[in-house]
Amino acid sequence: MAQAKLNVDASKFDLPVVKATQGPDGIMVSSLANDGFVTLDPGFLTTAQCESKITFIDGKNSVLLYRGYPIEQLCEQSDFLEVAWLLRHGELPSRAEYDRFCADLNHRTMVGEDFRSFMASFPRAAQPMSVLASAINALAAFYPDTTDITDPGKLDEASRIIMAKARTIVSYIYRRRRDEPMLYPDVARGYVDDFLRMCFAVPYEPYESDDLSIHALGRLLIIHADHEQNCSTSVVRIAGSAHANLYSAIAAGVNALSGPLHGGANEAVLRQLEVIRDSGESVASFVEDAKRNGTRISGFGHRVYKCHDPRAEVAKHYLQELMARGDVDDRLPADERALFDIATQLEDIATHDDYFVSRHLYPNVDFYTGLLYRIIGFEPAMFTPLFALGRIPGWIAQYREMLADPGTRIGRPRQVYTGRTRRDYVPMDQR
Ligand code: ACO
């Protein structure tokens, strides 16, 4: 085994190196704790928290592989449920496995009447990610027989319940905001098709989703399905390392994803475009102001991609397809169509501006997905729940890999303490 050597003053340490199949090898530093040192790495820029076989990212070369398969190929030839299976099991399913998986999910898509009442008890204007996290967490209370994570059968069932019901829950969040009745699932339709119906159908009228929207939303779910050890996935793993059940760990992931620096960026992008439109300011001066003030422009930059985000390329492609379809005027009012022009200008200016180029700040996936969700018919507040819907298979796969890994220990980072040393309490009248 390769070894790294570390010298701290007179102390010398030999640290084992874990070989990667692709990407950086890992220097195992755990033994340093026995010698009075910790490693300090704010934001975990260079800290791997686990070995994983699920997703590989090469941020310098725009590569994203799920279990070795490039997302471009999966977007072209696969579908979301097959990708969910792949992430969890490591191999593509046989026809029989795939059919069985789809049937298993279909038969768990409905939620009970008490759960519907629970969903109806949230205020209509509630923040959708708060409702989603609460609803996923509440599944543990509604299906308590599936929370024992030491029983593989129960863990399988919890995985199926979350995968199946998340779609229904997200559609309920959407409809409730609009004071519309929550619809029952229709097992005769595909996963994405039925999701769109549950969101957009008028209950007393037949509903047909259009093929391009079904296809585009299916691709968005695929490109969001996993992204190795990002903020929300790390939260899922750390919660799970304490043996929090799958529902609780995924609810924790939903909460982490809600932040505007993470999954919430797709909504932030749309809000930012609205601010530019409403200010009457030119896009160029908005960019100059942001550079001068050190404000971050939502939808640009990524911790890992220092080149094009391959997910952004897929999202951009489908955005262009939907825009080219010719019915944009029917789908969006004029003031919203203006946002698409502003986005094009912003992309053009930022991708040529030395500030962004020199810092490798490219448009990320969130720059395009909000616009895509909008043209499919969703309001900005729903964008991050849609991201979460796509990410659920990844969270499940990562949680299960964490649990199965004999090397897993409870996630408990250390710190370098820089506060006051020991001192004595001063009574209040002497301060
Ligand atoms: N706009 C302007 N400047 C930026 C941006 C941005 N969006 N992002 C980074 N920078 C600048 C930083 O100010 C810094 O400049 P400096 O070197 O002069 O100090 C430099 O670029 C490097 O930034 P870091 O902070 O090192 O980048 P980090 O990897 O920590 O952050 C992040 C990545 C959080 C995504 C950041 O780029 C950002 O805030 N982007 C906007 C929010 C966003 O779009 N998030 C979605 C990410 S994708 C996802 O979660 C699916």
Is the CB–ligand 1 distance for residue 176 below 6 Å?
no
User: CA-CA distance, 309 to 302, in Å (whole number)?
Assistant: 8
Cα-to-centroid distance, 296 and ligand 1 (Å)? 7
- Which residues are designated catalytic? 302, 366
Best of 300, 305, 367 to mutate for ligand 1, by most ligand atoms within 8 A of CB?
300
Q: Does 291 contact ligand 1 (Cβ within 6 A)?
A: no
**Given this model, what pLDDT does residue 334 score?**
87
* Ligand 1 center–CA 303 separation, angstroms: 7
Cα distance from N-terminal residue to C-terminal residue, the chain:
59
Tokens in use for 289? 């102001």
Measured from the CB, is residue 388 less than 6 Å from ligand 1?
no
Answer yes or no: is the C-beta of 261 below 6 A from any ligand 1 atom: yes
Tokens found for residue 261:
């620096």
Predicted TM-score (pTM) of this structure: 0.93
- Tell me how far the alpha carbon of residue 45 lies from the centroid of ligand 1, in angstroms: 13
Atom number of ligand 1 nearest to Cα 367 = 44
Closest CA to 357 of 288, 303, 320, 307: 307
Nearest atom within ligand 1 for CA of residue 43:
30
Taking the CA of residue 309 as reference, the ligand 1 atom at the shortest distance is: 48
- The Cβ-side half-sphere exposure at 220, using a 13 Å CA radius, reads 30
What is the predicted pLDDT for the residue at 187? 87
Place of tokens 């409809």: 175
Distance (Å) from CA 302 to ligand 1 centroid: 6
Ligand 1 geometric centre to CA of 132 (Å):
27
Q: What is the pLDDT of residue 333?
A: 85
Per-residue pLDDT of the chain (431 residues; tens, 9 = 90+): 789 999 999 989 999 999 999 999 999 999 998 888 999 999 999 999 999 999 999 999 999 999 999 999 999 999 999 999 999 999 999 999 999 999 999 999 999 999 999 999 999 999 999 999 999 999 999 999 999 999 999 999 999 999 999 999 999 999 999 999 999 999 899 999 999 999 999 989 989 989 999 999 999 999 999 999 999 999 999 999 999 999 999 999 999 999 988 888 888 999 999 999 999 889 999 999 999 999 999 999 998 898 889 999 999 999 999 988 888 888 888 888 889 889 999 999 988 999 999 999 999 999 999 999 999 999 999 999 999 999 999 999 999 999 999 999 999 999 999 999 999 999 999 99
12 - beta bridge partners?
7
